[in-house]
Amino acid sequence: MTRSAAPARRPSGRRPTASRRPSGRRLAPYAFVLPFVVLFLAFGVYPLIYTFRLSFTSWSGSGPAQWVGWDNYTYLLGSDAFWSSLADSAVLWLLIVPAQVVIALIAAVLLNNAKLRMRGFYRTVALVPFVTPLVAMAQIWIVVFDADYGAVNRLLGAAGLPQLDWLTSTTWAKPTLALLFLWKTTGFAIVILLSGLQSIPASVYEAAELDGASRTRQLVSITVPLVRRVVLFLVVMQTLAVFQMFAEPYVVTGGGPYGSTTTAGLYLYEHLGRSDLGTGSANSFLLVALVMLISLLFVRLLRERD
């Protein structure tokens, strides 16, 4: 008769635990992100909170700030100049953003073609205006579109066409600024759309070609739907840029003629130039609220499309 095997004994002592990392290694990730957090709080969050508080005061930059409550906001909402600046920015948006999206999309599709010769050269040329200093380009714009000695009017005169007051006419001042903005930033738009086009698998186009789809059909049915999120991002970014536009009207037209190019960004600067920092802070927050509403509208439209 054999003896039954004895039950296995549990090892005495504590349960084995995973080796703990040294405290220095646990704190290392936080140490790496700490400089960014400190800079973001110091130059992002704190100025935002301070500006929001300042928007409820009357302050000229020196001495104590006087609390005025909602007076700055009610003054701006009842000001014709404020609404006129928003209208000028809205007209510039209509002149710039739709045309830029179409131009940049066509250029990006052409530059994304692997069969295009000197493709790298063309991509570099498209970015040259974007990396050129804006003030230098604005000065060139003043010279080129001068009513008396500008190259554009000379070409129009040589062709027997009427010469125009590009920078001194309420009719042509906005289109001239819009053309400057398009020339300056379309390279950036092309790069953004190129990144979206290169994320589309080549097999999708190969399957479309096997089905007999033309290039135009592929653009409408494949390219545009698959890059609509990139297009939305571009539209939001350019909307921010247009409503913040300052250097172009400040250098080229000075907000004229007759205030026709006083954009929202330039109108905000006028408050700061008069040392009316409380009203300027309120103006900046109204612009932030407006741009946020426009951006949310675009996102909602995209979500409904999805």
pLDDT band at 1 (very low <50, low <70, confident <90, very high): very low
> 137 in helix, strand or coil?
helix
**Number of helices followed by number of strands (H, E) in the chain:** 15, 2
Residues 201-218, mean pLDDT to the nearest whole number: 83
**Under 8 Å between Cβ of 299 and 232:** yes
- Check residue 56 and give its pLDDT: 93
pLDDT band at 8 (very low <50, low <70, confident <90, very high): low
Query: What are 232-272's pLDDT values in tens digits?
Result: 889 888 988 999 899 899 999 988 888 889 999 899 888 88
C-alpha to C-alpha distance for 227 and 230, rounded to whole angstroms: 5
Handedness of CA 90, 96, 97, 102 (dihedral sign): positive
Q: What share of the chain is helix, strand, coil (3-state, %, to 5)?
A: 70, 0, 30
Residues 41-59, mean pLDDT to the nearest whole number: 90
C-alpha to C-alpha distance for 255 and 246, rounded to whole angstroms: 9
Q: Helix 228-243 and helix 277-305: axis angle, to 10°?
A: 160
pTM above 0.95, yes or no: no
Whether residue 55 has pLDDT greater than 70 = yes
Whether residue 136 has pLDDT greater than 80 = yes
Residues 53-79, mean pLDDT to the nearest whole number: 89
Residue ranges of domains in the chain, CATH in brackets: 79-305 (1.10.3720.10)
The H-or-E segment that residue 67 falls in is strand 66-67
C-alpha to C-alpha distance for 123 and 203, rounded to whole angstroms: 24
- Check residue 21 and give its pLDDT: 56
Whether residue 24 has pLDDT greater than 90 = no
Query: Lowest-pLDDT range, 33-37, 79-83, 181-185, 199-203?
Result: 199-203
Whether residue 14 has pLDDT greater than 60 = no
- Check residue 220 and give its pLDDT: 83
Query: What are 94-133's pLDDT values in tens digits?
Result: 999 999 999 999 999 888 876 778 878 888 888 888 888 9
C-alpha to C-alpha distance for 41 and 33, rounded to whole angstroms: 12
- Check residue 82 and give its pLDDT: 92
Query: What are 270-279's pLDDT values in tens digits?
Result: 888 888 889 9
Instruction: Looking at 3-112, list the stretches that DSSP marks H as alpha helix, in order from N- to C-terminal side.
Output: 23-40, 46-54, 71-77, 80-111
DSSP single-letter state for residue 66: E
DSSP single-letter state for residue 57: E
Residues 202-215, mean pLDDT to the nearest whole number: 83
Query: Lowest-pLDDT range, 22-36, 96-110, 130-144, 153-167?
Result: 22-36
- Check residue 114 and give its pLDDT: 66
Query: Lowest-pLDDT range, 32-36, 61-65, 229-233, 244-248?
Result: 61-65
Residues 276-286, mean pLDDT to the nearest whole number: 90
Give percent of the chain with pLDDT exceeding 70: 90
Which of 31, 11, 34 lies closest to 23 in space, CA to CA?
31
- Check residue 272 and give its pLDDT: 80
Dump the DSSP string for 141-184: HHHHT-TTT-HHHHHHHHTTPPP--TTT-TTTHHHHHHHHHHHH
Residues 148-165, mean pLDDT to the nearest whole number: 89
